[in-house]
């Protein structure tokens, strides 16, 4: 049985959810999302994307930071008829290589990735705090430049695609392939949740997918330039906020944190 997202919002969150009008779209309810997620454990990411595109249509969005995983999903999405809104949270601190990759993706796949920015410019934010805050208050920086902008996007959509993998960090280890994201009031779809790093790079190299050249320079994970360093070893997140306990910007942490 399918329930409207308005019903999901009431049942799961006790919050008002106005994104999806009951007359416009129906989406799976809580139990169905859990069942679907379990069934999708044996599905390919392409099959999961096809399902998402067919169920959510124009109410589907995809947030990409142009990491290796995100580029792989963009290549898959390009092969699937869809009306997803694809965007990048442009913090104002991204590497030049990341911004250039956006153009290579557009040229190869015809996907124009939109920039979503904070309402407050970097210059205004730094003036307000009397200097950059990424080193002294990184959680606040992430909140202003990533969390708040995604919440504003979420107001117009029913579901969002992310490119996280379970083996990237402890915080991501229990990620469902599809589930309710209470933080942003949308269904969250993680087509690569049960993929490994090897799976991702095999797909990229086999399919000649454009990727960030910083990966070849020792950056396993790439975010904002002030908070991303080269790293070695098996921990993909070890180069993010290096020297601190912080490993997540907050997008993929449940609840109201960050």
Cα angle, residue 213 at apex, residues 189 and 93 outer, rounded to 5°: 70
Main-chain dihedrals φ then ψ at residue 3, nearest 5 degrees: -120, 150
Cα angle, residue 111 at apex, residues 107 and 114 outer, rounded to 5°: 110
Q: Are 13 and 154 in contact (CB under 8 A)?
A: no
In sequence order, what DSSP letters do the residues of the chain get, joined into one string?
-EE-HHHHIIIIISS---SS-TTT--EE-HHHHHHHHHHHTTS-HHHHHHHHHHHHGGGEEEE----HHHHHHHHHHTTS----EEEEE--S-B-HHHHHHHHHHHHHH---PEEE--SS-HHHHHHHTTS--TTT-HHHHHIIIIIHHHHHHHTT-SEEE----GGG-GGGTT--SEEEETTTTEEEE-TTTT--HHHHHHHHHHTT----GGGGGT-SS--BGGGB----SS-TTTTBTTTSS----STTSSTT--
- Inter-CA distances, 237 with 24, 48, 211, Å: 40, 25, 18
Active site residue 71: no
* Active-site pick, 20, 61, 71, 249: 249
- Catalytic residue set: 249
């Amino acid at each position: 049985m399918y329930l409207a997202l308005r019903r999901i919002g009431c049942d799961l969150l006790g919050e008002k959810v106005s994104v999806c009008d009951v007359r416009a779209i129906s989406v799976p309810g809580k139990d169905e999302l859990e069942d679907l997620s379990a069934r999708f454990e044996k599905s390919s990411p392409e099959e999961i994307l096809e399902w998402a595109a067919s169920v959510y249509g124009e109410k589907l969005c995809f947030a990409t930071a142009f990491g290796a995983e995100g580029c792989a999903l963009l290549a898959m999405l390009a092969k699937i008829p869809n009306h997803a809104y694809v965007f990048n949270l442009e913090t104002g601190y991204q590497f030049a290589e990341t911004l250039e990759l956006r153009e290579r993706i557009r040229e190869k796949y015809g996907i124009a990735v939109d920039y979503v920015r904070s309402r407050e410019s970097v210059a205004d934010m730094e003036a307000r705090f009397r200097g950059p805050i990424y080193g002294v208050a990184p959680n606040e920086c992430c909140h202003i430049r990533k969390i708040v902008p995604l919440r504003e996007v979420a107001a117009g959509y029913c579901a969002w695609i992310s490119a996280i993998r379970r083996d990237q960090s402890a915080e991501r280890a229990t990620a469902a392939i599809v589930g309710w994201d209470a933080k942003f009031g949308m269904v969250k779809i993680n087509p690569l949740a049960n993929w490994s790093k090897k799976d991702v790079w095999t797909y990229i190299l086999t399919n000649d997918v454009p990727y960030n050249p910083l990966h070849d320079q020792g950056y396993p994970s790439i975010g904002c330039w002030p908070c991303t360093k080269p790293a070695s070893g098996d921990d993909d997140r070890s180069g993010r906020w290096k020297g601190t306990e912080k490993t997540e910007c907050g997008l993929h942490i449940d609840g109201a944190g960050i």
